Amino acid sequence: MYLLTNAMKNLLRNKGRNILIAAITLAIIIGAVVTLTINNAAAKVIDGIRLDLGSRVEVRQDFIEMRQIGLGREDASYISIDSFMSFAESDYLRHSIFNADMYAWSDTFRAVDDTGNKPGDTTRMNDNGEVVFVETCKLVSTSEPDTLAEFGTLRDVVQGRMFDGLNECIITEDLAALNGLSVGDTIELRGSYATDKTYSLTIVGIYSDATEDYAHFFLMMNGRFADNRRNEIITSFETLMTAGWETNAGLDMKMEYYLRDPDKIGNFEAEVREIGLPITYNVSINQAAYDKVTGPLSGMSSATMTFMIVILILGAIVLALLSFMAVRERKYEVGVLRAMGMERGKVAFGILAEAVMISAVCLVLGLGMGSLMAQPIADGMLAGNVAEVEEEFSGGANRVLFAGGQMQTDDNTEGYEPESEIQVSLNADVITQIIIITFALAAVSGVIGIVIITQYEPLKILRERT
């Protein structure tokens, strides 16, 4: 008890030096609290995104990749719808979502931007040399309406409801206003690349649309008004399949398979290749979307960890120097205590106790101050990183390719936005890490003093003082 009491008195006797040590220790702890809190929160969010995007495997024919390796449109291969369904039965999967788009035309309503004399009166030559009607709209389908991109942000059902049964659809406000359509009306569609596919759909909802009219300037300049987002008619995947599709020829199939373990993508690909998936189809995660969504968090996490490493190294060096200088100043005090018969271990304990007391006080203050500063700092860093990521991806796609009735581009990030919010807070893991760091600093400060003091004999210290 005497040793602890004497250590506390020594702290008060040398207030100036100890305040400086405490200030440096406090700054290090606050920096560690802020960085570890932000880094742990970012890692948690990234891990959640990884389980979503990292486990979401898309199986899709890649015409752009085909062109890069020297394959042409005639090399395009199509597989049966049943094969796509059989992939979903893999034991590596926990869930599957079926999506498919089809260009269509109609002579019963006019599409937005269609300048023809009347609906459906324009024809063209297809890849097979056949005369077909020009597409006026796109029939978009999904097996899970809740997963439709942009709904809840840029799109929203403002009249009626979302489709939930066969032969039901929703259309845009622009398309409805242009043709005088309302909830309950029926529209007729025909597949442009497979003219035997016909649909009679009941409008059950009308949605607002704040997206860009055209995803690419090229589409607008070439009069492809079927690619105007206002001409998207959305229905269920089951409805699209009712026309009797045997293969995906004429469809843009975007099947999403969710892995139980994101690291098993290689096993899943090997399985579907064995079943019969052609090499012209990609089996991959949407890495571009993953990088776009997690980019701000990854950048913030990397910056904070670099900052923490630097501040710990520099802080430890400064504390070591201060401790070295402080102990040399106290050699005479130590010599007197040793001459009075105090053992080296007790002297060392007293010096270490002083360092621990300073660190304990700084720990309490640092946890409180760091937790208050972490959220504003995280918000500021994230906002800057989001702006950088948005600028990086603002160019969008720079190539558009049509083949087999499908359009593909380089842009795989449409509908994905950088993560712009994060909630940071202290948790047991962070507190444990901070405690370890704090007492490691105390050990650095105390052990240096102990090593220096124990090198001298008491008589030698007193003689040098004289």
The average pLDDT across 285-301 equals 78
Q: Is the pLDDT of residue 351 over 80?
A: no
- Per DSSP bridges, beta strands 406-409 and 131-133 are unpaired
Listed in sequence order, the DSSP H helices in 236-343 are 237-241, 265-275, 287-329, 331-339
Q: Is the pLDDT of residue 123 over 90?
A: no
d(CA 441, CA 462): 30
Residue 407: the pLDDT is 47
Q: Looking at this protein, which amino acid is placed at residue 396?
A: G
Q: Is the pLDDT of residue 111 over 70?
A: yes
Tokens of 361: 């006080």
Residue 402: the pLDDT is 42
Largest CA distance in the chain: 112
Residue 106: the pLDDT is 86
Residue with the larger pLDDT of the pair 287 and 177: 177
The average pLDDT across 97-120 equals 81
pLDDT in tens, 22-73: 888 888 889 889 988 988 888 888 877 777 666 788 887 776 666 665 555 5
Q: For residue 228, which phi and psi values (nearest 5 degrees)?
A: -70, 125
| pLDDT band (50, 70, 90) for residue 240 | very high
Q: Is the pLDDT of residue 452 over 70?
A: no
Whose tokens are 């597409």? That residue is 135
d(CA 381, CA 91): 41
d(CA 342, CA 97): 76
Residue 60: the pLDDT is 75
Q: Is the pLDDT of residue 11 over 60?
A: no
Residue 178: the pLDDT is 92
Q: Are 335 and 461 in contact (CB under 8 A)?
A: yes
| pLDDT band (50, 70, 90) for residue 387 | confident
Residue 394: the pLDDT is 64
Q: Is the pLDDT of residue 87 over 80?
A: yes
Q: Write b or e for each residue in 86-101: b if 16 or more Cβ atoms lie within 10 A of its Cβ, otherwise e.
A: ebeebebbeebbbbbb
Q: Which of 197-201, 415-419, 424-428 has the highest mean pLDDT?
A: 197-201
pLDDT in tens, 173-220: 999 999 999 999 999 998 866 567 899 999 999 999 998 887 665 555
pTM: predicted TM-score of the whole model, two decimal places: 0.61
Q: Which of 75-89, 142-156, 219-233, 278-292 has the highest mean pLDDT?
A: 142-156
Q: Is the pLDDT of residue 253 over 90?
A: no
Residue with the larger pLDDT of the pair 216 and 260: 260
